[in-house]
């Protein structure tokens, strides 16, 4: 009897020790908590969230359920959930452009997360601009997005190609400084009989098309002499999208569509990456994923031959105030922060807000996010200083020369003097829908660039009036980092 009691006591003690050890491993302890995150269908971003979820589970014993929706369905799903104040999602991942629509339903980031080493490590373009709405932080960047230029180094360094290019165009073959040079290069390498085409960009409606067009137009419309006037006049909120700078951007975007693989009009960003990695094109523009995928020998035919640079620019930029072209002494690049990188936010209807913000902390920590950034297919591009500073990290996928160019292009773009911010406005989808429709018509040759842009401007002005011009102006100025209008 005594023996049995002793055995039971020992067993109980051992179990208690084991339990306390398990609890000690959970710091902070969120065992029993399951967070639900809404995101787009993977692998892009969803796999990065899963990577973060695994780390968070190891650390806190909490669980994360990543719910995926097709890209085109994500916005409606999130809006429906937020506006009905249900607690379906503990976290939502979204585009910065949607932030103005979501702000009334999101909780503010805890103050303790808004300081410290990890906070300062976030690039200022995200920390001070894209994560901020009306002076408050409602979301955390989990991805950095800026359009850069990608090219095939084997073609660009080939002496025969270099000589032939110089003979034809009168200047050296090199990553382009202007969009004209970009189109010259595309034209030069347009060799359908050899399975090689000039460039690849997204042109399909619903296929991230309009960000590529914005990248072209940013060079001619993001004027440092009149900041924040790329999309709207920041004094009057009059649409600027039909000014001569935008027309020039659209003409060049249409020209690029004719220098791509057959039926490039059906390309979304996925097809752009496939064309680059398949060695079908000499150059391309797009997000950082292109470089990472093209460098991966498992996915790419041009691994080891991938070059990167900042987007081309212009030495003439339209001034929306003076309604004239401003001439600059040198070409001024205007790297476009297309999309602006995925962000995560915590709905204020959520039941596990504390745990949710703790997950955000783990997900976006330099270690976890750094690993995601170098993993092809996560869709995570550099958004922390540590991401671009750590060459060793990137040597796993790039050759030293490739890594240097890739990281240089990313850092130079994000920190560029004339970096162009993407449009962020309440009613974002209403504004971009008409852009997609009119771009489709212009690309198909059904309308002229000027007529297409006039139609967009007319609709943008109508929407602004419908939503309230003063309210939209205040929001636009906030999005462009301008002080409130007195």
Partner 1 sequence: MLRNDPIKHVFIWPAVLVVLAISIFPLIYSLTTSFLSYRLIPPIPPRVVWFGNYASLLQEPRFWNAILTTTLIAFIAVGLQYVIGFGVALALNARVPGERLFRVALLLPMLLAPVAVALVARMIFNPTMGPLNQLLSMFGLANLPFLTNGHWALACIIAVEIWQWTPFIILMMLAGLQTLPEDVYEAAELENASAWQQFWGITFPMMLPISGAVVFIRLIESYKIMDTVFVMTGGGPGVDTETLTLFAYQEGFKKFNLGYTSALSFLFLIAITIIGVTYLALLRPHLEKRR
Q: Give the footprint of partner 1 on this chain (CB under 8 A).
A: 72, 75-76, 79, 83, 100-101, 104, 204-206, 261-263, 265-266, 271, 426-427, 429-430, 433, 436-438, 440-441, 443-444, 446, 466-468, 471
Q: What is the 3-state secondary structure (H, E, C) of 460-482?
A: HHHHHHHHCHHHHHHHHHHHCCC
Q: How far is the CB of 154 from partner 1 (least distance, A)?
A: 22
Count of beta carbons in the 10 Å neighbourhood of residue 14: 10
For residue 116, give Cα distances in angstroms to 106, 120, 121, 149, 365.
23, 6, 9, 33, 12
- Nearest distance from C-beta of residue 151 to partner 1, angstroms: 21
Q: What minimum distance in Å lies between the beta carbon of 72 and partner 1?
A: 7
CA distance 33 to 13: 27
Cα–Cα distance measured from residue 343 to residue 92, given in angstroms and rounded to the nearest whole number:
8
Query: Given the structure tokens 């139609």, which residue do they identify?
Result: 455
Q: Sign of torsion, CA 20 26 27 33?
A: negative
What is the distance between the alpha carbons of residues 162 and 156, in angstroms, rounded to a whole number?
7
* Residue with smaller CB distance to partner 1, 75 or 212: 75
Residue 83 or 157: the one with the smaller Cβ distance to partner 1 is 83
Looking at the Cβ atoms of 280 and 353, the one nearer to partner 1 is: 280
State the nearest-atom distance from the C-beta of 162 to partner 1, in Å: 29
- 77 or 354: CB nearest partner 1: 77
Instruction: Please give the structure tokens belonging to residue 417.
Output: 């003097």
- For residue 401, how many other CB atoms are within 10 A of its CB? 12
Nearest distance in Å: CB 101, partner 1: 5
Which residue lies nearer to partner 1 by CB, 44 or 75?
75
DSSP, collapsed to helix, strand or coil, labels residue 414 as helix
Which residue lies nearer to partner 1 by CB, 442 or 480?
A: 442
- In the complex, the smallest distance separating the C-beta of residue 475 from partner 1, rounded to whole angstroms, is 9
Q: Toward partner 1, which CB reaches closer, 264 or 355?
A: 264
Query: Least CB distance from residue 124 to partner 1, whole Å?
Result: 28
Cα–Cα distance measured from residue 381 to residue 386, given in angstroms and rounded to the nearest whole number: 12
Q: Between residues 235 and 433, which has the closer beta carbon with respect to partner 1?
A: 433
In angstroms, give the least distance from the CB of 426 to partner 1.
Answer: 4
Contacts 24+ apart (CB under 8 A), 64-67: 64/34, 64/35, 64/36, 64/37, 64/359, 65/34, 65/35, 65/36, 65/37, 66/37, 66/39, 67/36, 67/37, 67/38, 67/39
């Amino acid at each position: 009897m005594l023996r049995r009691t002793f055995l039971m006591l020992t067993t109980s003690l051992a179990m208690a020790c084991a339990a306390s050890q398990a609890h000690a491993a959970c710091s902070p302890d969120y065992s029993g908590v399951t967070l639900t995150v809404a995101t787009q269908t993977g692998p892009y971003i969803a796999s990065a969230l899963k990577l973060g979820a695994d780390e968070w589970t190891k650390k806190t014993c909490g669980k994360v359920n990543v719910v995926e929706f097709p890209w085109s369905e994500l916005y409606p799903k999130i809006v429906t959930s937020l506006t009905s104040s249900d607690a379906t999602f503990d976290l939502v991942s979204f585009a910065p452009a949607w932030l103005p629509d979501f702000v009334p339903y999101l909780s503010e980031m805890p103050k303790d997360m808004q300081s410290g080493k990890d906070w300062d490590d976030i690039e200022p373009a995200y920390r001070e601009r894209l994560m901020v709405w009306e002076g408050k932080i409602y979301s955390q960047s989990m991805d950095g997005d800026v359009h850069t230029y990608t090219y095939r180094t084997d073609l660009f360094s080939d002496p025969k190609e270099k000589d032939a290019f110089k003979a034809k165009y009168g200047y050296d073959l090199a990553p382009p400084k202007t969009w004209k040079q970009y189109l010259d290069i595309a034209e030069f390498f347009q060799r359908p009989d050899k399975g090689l085409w000039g460039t690849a960009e997204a042109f399909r409606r619903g296929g991230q098309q309009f960000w590529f067009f914005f990248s072209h137009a940013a060079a001619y419309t993001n004027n440092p002499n009149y900041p924040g006037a790329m999309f709207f006049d920041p004094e009057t909120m009059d649409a600027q999208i039909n000014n001569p700078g935008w027309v020039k951007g659209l003409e060049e975007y249409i020209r690029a569509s004719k220098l791509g693989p057959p039926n490039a009009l059906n390309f979304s960003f996925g097809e752009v990456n496939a064309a680059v990695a398949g060695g079908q094109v000499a150059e391309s523009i797009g997000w950082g994923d292109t470089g990472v995928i093209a460098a991966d020998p498992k996915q790419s035919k041009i691994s080891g031959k991938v070059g990167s640079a900042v987007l081309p620019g212009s030495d003439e930029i339209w001034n929306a105030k003076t309604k004239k072209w401003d001439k600059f002494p040198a070409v001024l690049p205007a790297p476009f922060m297309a999309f602006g990188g995925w962000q995560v936010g915590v709905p204020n209807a959520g039941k596990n807000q504390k745990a949710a913000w703790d997950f955000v902390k783990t997900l976006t920590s330099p270690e976890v996010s750094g690993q995601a950034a170098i993993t092809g297919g996560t869709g995570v591009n550099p958004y922390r200083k540590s991401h671009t500073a750590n060459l060793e990290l990137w040597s796993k996928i790039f050759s030293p020369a490739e890594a240097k160019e890739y990281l240089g292009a990313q850092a130079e773009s994000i920190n560029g003097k004339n970096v162009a911010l993407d449009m962020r406005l309440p009613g974002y989808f209403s504004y971009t829908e008409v852009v997609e429709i009119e771009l489709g018509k212009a690309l198909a040759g059904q309308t002229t660039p000027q007529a297409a842009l006039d139609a967009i401007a007319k609709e943008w002005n109508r929407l602004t009036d419908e939503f309230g011009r003063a309210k939209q102006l205040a929001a636009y100025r906030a999005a462009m980092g301008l002080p409130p209008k007195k």
